[in-house]
């Protein structure tokens, strides 16, 4: 998976070099060229498809939401342990 991110970074870097510095597109290595229909427009609005993103509804779980979810689970677990301990101590 890290190789995917490294490849994406190199693609962006070469794209910037071509756009800003005048690097000829022929100098881009073949494995880093943006080929295929992944970058062609999908509909009339000319929205570009990004690799790894499926068309249709998707669910993005951001880091903030993931942290909130973990915090809620931790609070619920602590509450459950406290209540279980209180009920056990009451029954003795």
- pLDDT tens digits, residue range 59-91? 667 888 889 999 999 999 999 999 999 999 998
Q: Are residues 15 and 49 in the same domain?
A: yes
Q: Are residues 65 and 29 in the same domain?
A: no
CB-based contact 51:38 (threshold 8 Å): yes
Place of tokens 């009339």: 44
pLDDT at 1: 65
Q: Are residues 48 and 67 in the same domain?
A: no
Q: Are residues 87 and 48 in the same domain?
A: no
Kindly report the average pLDDT of the chain as a whole number. Answer: 76
Q: Are residues 40 and 73 in the same domain?
A: no
Mean pLDDT confidence for 40-61: 55
Q: Are residues 39 and 23 in the same domain?
A: yes
pLDDT at 21: 79
pLDDT at 58: 59
Q: Are residues 88 and 50 in the same domain?
A: no
For the chain, give the percent of residues with pLDDT over 70. Answer: 64
- Tell me how far apart the alpha carbons of residues 8 and 6 are, in angstroms, rounded to a whole number: 5
Q: Look at residue 2 and tell me whether its pLDDT is greater than 90.
A: no
HSE on the CB side for 4, CA within 13 Å? 4
Place of tokens 């427009």: 41
Look at the alpha carbons of 55, 59, 61, 62 in this order and tell me if their dihedral is positive or negative.
positive
Residue 40's domain spans which residues?
A: 1-54
Number of domains the chain is built from: 2
The region of weakest confidence among 1-5, 29-33, 45-49, 81-85 is 45-49
Q: Which residues contact residue 7 at a Cβ distance below 8 angstroms, ignoring those fewer than 6 apart?
A: 31, 32
């Amino acid at each position: 998976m890290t190789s995917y991110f490294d490849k994406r970074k190199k693609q962006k870097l070469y794209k910037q070099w071509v756009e800003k510095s005048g690097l000829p597109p022929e100098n881009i290595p073949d494995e880093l060229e943006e080929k295929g229909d992944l970058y062609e427009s999908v509909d009339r609005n000319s929205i570009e498809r990004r690799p790894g993103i499926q068309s249709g509804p998707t669910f993005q779980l951001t880091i903030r939401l993931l942290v909130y979810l973990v915090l809620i689970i931790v609070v619920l677990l602590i509450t459950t342990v406290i209540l279980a301990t209180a009920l056990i101590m009451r029954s003795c």
